[in-house]
Structure 1
Amino acid sequence: MDPRYSAQEVLLCDLCDKDVLQTHCEPCNVNLCLNCIGKHLSDPSKRHNVVPYRQIKQDQQQSFTPIYPKCSKHAPKNCELFCERCDISVCSTCLSSGTHKGHNLLDILQKHKSMVEDLKIDLAELKHRINPTFQNIASDVKVGKAKLDKHYGQLTTDVIKQGEGWHSEIEVIVNKRKSEIEAMRMKHLMALEKQEDEIAKILSEINRSTLYLEKILSSNDVSLAFANQSRNSEFRKLPPKLNASLPSFSAPKINTENLNLLFGYISELSISTEDAEPPCLPPFKPFLDEPELINTLYTDFVNLTSVTCPKEEKIWTCERKEIMKLYNTESKLLIPIKSKSGKDVEDIAVMKSGELVYTDPGERTVNIVKKTQIKELIRLQGWRPRFLCNTSSNELLITMDNDDKQSKVVRYSGSTAKQTIQFDDSHLSLYSSSGNFKYICENKNMDICVADNGAEAVVVVNHTGKLRFRYTGCPSSSGRFYPYGITKDSRSQLLISENLRGRIHILDQDGQFLRFIETFYLVSPWGLCVDSKDDLFVALSSNGEVKKIKYM
């Protein structure tokens, strides 16, 4: 998705088309990154005035001059009010007529502002949910077409191989079977192409609606918003799903009797459609234009590295020392816990039952805190536990390393190891060598996501351990990518902290970059967690503060 065309994404410099824009030259109407300012100002033939881009955005908002709709009954009077009961805009003459006496009347700009917000939500849903869903369906159809020739080609090969063992008089049967296969292949292909055409038409309508909504939002004409009829409910209905029972070839042993029957038969091609169930997704939440700082929690730590949310209004924290602390959202210390060995704690997590678990690399143990009593849960031989998370099935995923510079992820149910993830299909290590930060989380779709600082990547595998993707930073950003904390939200979006640049990346569940959270108060963000309301907690390693942020 081109970041130039979404307010949710990174806007790029008009000159280099690579770096994030930060300034704007008003006379030239050009957006610039910091690196390109000097190059732009070097042209003495023009007058330049470079200002921060945010100021331009604010000035545009402040310069909004509404075009009021004309009254349909008392033209050319302008309508400056809106009657909620009658659901129409009204002018002063309409009021004096008494028609709307006792009705709830709103300032029309207030009503327009509410409608604009609805339009923005519709536009965001079209761009970030409905359109991608149909794109995925269209992609699946293309994959089906790509597999079509392979499958039917294999059927043809099987038939030919069977025919090679028979006498020449059976050739007519071979040709007959080949004709049957070709006829079914064409029928199957036509069904897929028909579905592809239907989806393409719907996508065209979606794109038209998207462009029209963008036109409304960029226009000063208030009447356009009133004239608009949302089509999102129409587009939410997914097209029928094409089901095809692929034919197969059954070949009995060669027998000279009843050649036609014994040669083998091809099962019938069955093509049908069924209504596709809309995906079970949480309510669509657009990103806020600017993240909102809800609260700042002050801890007694200096170099805060981990934060987790056990319950509403409470957070556990630690800083890679021997102490772990539970605070409420008023920064009051509720419980301090010292590690059982007195050695440094690497990371913390909370089980569904509320118990705190932590890793002790020095002792090679994972421990659980029940009330105020600490019990050893896991003891490793030859490996050191580093970072961990609790899963949807109340298991633990733990990153660990050894002295041979190997790293892996192990799933534990209680103290029993159930799964080890270390190598890809080529038997190459999925993760970087030991000694690097590897925060971990399980996404809603059960993907296992590791922010591998040493590999300069977020490494995501599915629940079986098969590599799905690697994210190595936003394509529009220059420089190296060093991820630290990682968490997920209710929409299966991944949030990754970039400590050195003071920002947080947001990805969709397939690794597509969506946007940054980047504000002046995010100084050295490290550990991350998201609560049940999708509010983000960010541990700052620079000053021991925890920032609570609303971003959707």
Structure 2
Amino acid sequence: MDPRAQDVLLCDLCETDPLQYLCEHCDINICPDCVSKHLSNSSKKHKIAPYHLFTPKYSKCLKHADKDCEIYCESCHIPVCIACVSSGKHKGHDISDILETLGSKKQRIQKDLEELENKIYPRYKEISSAVQNEKVEVEMNYGKLATTADQQGEFWHREVTAIVNKRKADIVETKTKHLSILDKQADEITHRMTEINHVILEMKNILDTNDISLTSTYKSRNDEFNKLPPKIKVTLPSLSTPTINTEILNEMFGSLTSLSVTKVGSLLDEPRLTATIDTGYSTYRGLFSVSCLSEDQVWTCGENKTMKLLNLQSKLLTSIQTKSGRRPTDIAVTRDRYLVYTDYKNRTVNLVNNKKIQTVITLQGWRPHNVCSTACNDLLVTMHSDDIKPSKVMRYSGSTEKQSIQFDDQGHPLYSSHGLYQYISENRNLDICVADTSVVVVVNQSGKLRFKYTGHPSNTKQSFNPRGITTDSQSHILTADINNHRIHILDQDGQFLRYIHCHLESPLGLCVDIRDNLFVAECYTAKVRKIQYL
């Protein structure tokens, strides 16, 4: 061998020329002439980088000062010298060459570096950019709030000025009426005084003359003048100025809602199954719906008349049988933590309170399917007519109908006429989301169509068949694709985000708890799966 090889590191391919490069992916050292030859192998991924001569700098052993730590104890996770190993202190421990350990450590560091540079840091940069954009939006929105307050103030000023001017006009009008009454009284008194003066002159004239005819014809008018004109007392009007109730004034002006801070969770790369609940229903189309009472308690309903409250350990906490003795079509938990269920056969929606069942809605000509409770504690119910052709969504406050949603702006039906499963959920932005046989239909709070989702254009064995539907605190829409054994996650505008698989089998009913854990009712296994996806 060329004696230069004792001092010079050679190319791993030709073994003759000094190396100057290394392929980080293949972990091979290469000379300049062999670079192109190495890159010609397109079956592998390559990354050529300049080679930096590595001169190991060993640390000195703390117990044997004249020895270098050339060995690594895998059990103790420390570098040691040969004397330490010979002493038997590390007997039975996994020992390796420290340079090999260093190499693997550097590979891990390199991998971490690439992940930090290429994945993690860009995400932080993206979040930072989003925060800056949000700050700009905050400035703009708070400016709008201040403008709204100014506009409200200007409106109130105009209203107050108009009221003040009206009151002043009323005062002038009342004053004119008052003076008119006094002027009329003064005129009457003046007229009487003139008459009295005239009579006084006549009487003096009679007394100054001996004219018998004047004296004999005199008639006294003193009785007439003794009847003094009535005094008219006009009560001065007053202006009532009630004390201003500042609390009511504040309420009338409008108030600023409190600042709500929510940590927005991102979707996990790999959703995790965290619990499995065995509901005890049959495994042949046994389980239909699930609804969260709390983080560790769920209501379920299936093929029989019994609705069950279970914990995460599959323990039956309580059970309720339907009023009719038939199986419930769907269940939901209200904001007051009451259980609600629909009964397709007898056309009712029923509320369970302390194990007592109250029928709150009885339909005529329509049959209820699925139900959900809204943020304002209304009930949204999907239903179809007796001939199964028209379908619609109804909103109820207690037993009172508040809203009917059936047609779009062109008068076309929003929902299918043949769907027997029309699961429903209200989103955080108050959109109403319905999983309707082969499409998800989303309308806004007033019932105007926002969008329809017909599945993601990826390779699937079966057509898109959404059943259960729910929403989370981030306004994500989650729907169960029963035929393809997975969950679709959409944003609030209907854009597909990702799937949840988790080895699900025929997912049907869905719900989320207050911490955005997803509960999935599997129809044919009769199990409820709890999944963390945020």
The TM-score normalised by the length of structure 1 is 0.53
Q: What's 1:494 paired with? A: 477
Q: Which deviations, in whole Å up to 9, do the C-alpha atoms of 1:3-44 show, x marking residues without a partner?
A: xxxxxxxxxxxxxxxxxxxxxxxxxxxxxxxxxxxxxxxxxx
Q: What's 1:219 paired with? A: none
Work out whether residues 124 and 286 of structure 1, in 8 Å CA contact, stay in contact via their aligned partners in 2: no
Q: What's 1:285 paired with? A: 265
How big is the shift at 1:289? 1.7
**3-state SS of the aligned residue for 1:237?**
helix
Work out whether residues 289 and 300 of structure 2, in 8 Å CA contact, stay in contact via their aligned partners in 1: yes
Q: What's 2:509 paired with? A: 527
Q: Which deviations, in whole Å up to 9, do the C-alpha atoms of 1:180-201 show, x marking residues without a partner?
A: xxxxxxxxxxxxxxxxxxxxxx
Q: What's 1:369 paired with? A: 352
Work out whether residues 382 and 393 of structure 2, in 8 Å CA contact, stay in contact via their aligned partners in 1: yes
Q: Which deviations, in whole Å up to 9, do the C-alpha atoms of 1:209-241 show, x marking residues without a partner?
A: xxxxxxxxxxxxxxxxxxxxx656445433564
Q: Can you give the 5+ residue segments of structure 2 that lack an aligned partner in the other structure?
A: 1-40, 60-104, 148-258
Correspondence 1:297 to 2:253: no
Q: What's 1:464 paired with? A: 446
User: Which of 331, 334, 340 is equivalent to 1:357?
Assistant: 340
How big is the shift at 1:492? 0.3
How big is the shift at 1:319? 1.2
Q: Counterparts of 2:57 and 2:467 in 1: how far apart (Å)? A: 56
How big is the shift at 1:550? 0.7
Corresponding pairs, count: 330
How do 1:238-249 and structure 2 match up within 5 A? 238=136, 241=140
Residues 232, 388 of structure 1: alpha-carbon distance in 2 compared, 3 angstrom cutoff: closer
Residues 498, 48 of structure 1: alpha-carbon distance in 2 compared, 3 angstrom cutoff: farther
Deviates more, 1:439-448 or 1:342-351: 342-351
Residues 511, 337 of structure 1: alpha-carbon distance in 2 compared, 3 angstrom cutoff: same
Q: What's 1:401 paired with? A: 384
Q: What's 2:430 paired with? A: 446
How do 1:408-447 and structure 2 match up within 5 A? 408-447=392-431
Residues 237, 335 of structure 1: alpha-carbon distance in 2 compared, 3 angstrom cutoff: same
Q: Which deviations, in whole Å up to 9, do the C-alpha atoms of 1:62-106 show, x marking residues without a partner?
A: x99xx9x99xxxx998999xxxxxxxxxxxxxxxxxxxxxxxxxx
Q: Which amino acid letter does the alignment assign opposite residue 356 of structure 1?
A: L
Q: Counterparts of 2:514 and 2:266 in 1: how far apart (Å)? A: 17
How big is the shift at 1:532? 1.1
Residues 346, 284 of structure 1: alpha-carbon distance in 2 compared, 3 angstrom cutoff: same
Larger gyration radius, structure 1 or structure 2: 2
Q: What's 1:549 paired with? A: 531
Q: What's 1:507 paired with? A: 490
**3-state SS of the aligned residue for 2:451?**
strand
Q: What's 2:293 paired with? A: 310
How big is the shift at 1:120? 4.9
Q: Counterparts of 2:447 and 2:354 in 1: how far apart (Å)? A: 34
The TM-score normalised by the length of structure 2 is 0.55
Q: Counterparts of 1:542 and 1:110 in 2: how far apart (Å)? A: 47
Q: Counterparts of 1:312 and 1:79 in 2: how far apart (Å)? A: 54
How big is the shift at 1:475? 2.3
**3-state SS of the aligned residue for 1:501?**
coil
How big is the shift at 1:286? 2.2
How big is the shift at 1:291? 1.2
Q: Which deviations, in whole Å up to 9, do the C-alpha atoms of 1:237-260 show, x marking residues without a partner?
A: 335649999xxxxxxxxxxxxxxx
Correspondence 1:331 to 2:341: no
Deviates more, 1:113-122 or 1:510-519: 113-122
How big is the shift at 1:121? 6.3
Residues 373, 237 of structure 1: alpha-carbon distance in 2 compared, 3 angstrom cutoff: same
Q: Which deviations, in whole Å up to 9, do the C-alpha atoms of 1:124-167 show, x marking residues without a partner?
A: 5777xx6xxxxxxxxxxxxxxxxxxxxxxxxxxxxxxxxxxxxx
Work out whether residues 344 and 362 of structure 1, in 8 Å CA contact, stay in contact via their aligned partners in 2: no
How big is the shift at 1:476? 2.7
Percent identity between matched residues is: 46
Work out whether residues 122 and 232 of structure 1, in 8 Å CA contact, stay in contact via their aligned partners in 2: no
Work out whether residues 282 and 491 of structure 1, in 8 Å CA contact, stay in contact via their aligned partners in 2: no
Deviates more, 1:392-401 or 1:427-436: 427-436
Q: Which amino acid letter does the alignment assign opposite residue 451 of structure 2?
A: F
Q: Counterparts of 1:78 and 1:331 in 2: how far apart (Å)? A: 59
Work out whether residues 345 and 359 of structure 1, in 8 Å CA contact, stay in contact via their aligned partners in 2: yes
RMSD, aligned α-carbons? 4.0
Q: Which amino acid letter does the alignment assign opposite residue 535 of structure 1?
A: N
Q: Which amino acid letter does the alignment assign opposite residue 521 of structure 2?
A: A
Q: Counterparts of 1:118 and 1:338 in 2: how far apart (Å)? A: 59
**3-state SS of the aligned residue for 1:475?**
coil
Q: Counterparts of 1:381 and 1:497 in 2: how far apart (Å)? A: 31
Residues 511, 359 of structure 1: alpha-carbon distance in 2 compared, 3 angstrom cutoff: same
Q: Counterparts of 1:339 and 1:419 in 2: how far apart (Å)? A: 27
Work out whether residues 346 and 386 of structure 1, in 8 Å CA contact, stay in contact via their aligned partners in 2: yes
Q: Counterparts of 2:354 and 2:475 in 1: how far apart (Å)? A: 32
Residues 338, 510 of structure 1: alpha-carbon distance in 2 compared, 3 angstrom cutoff: same
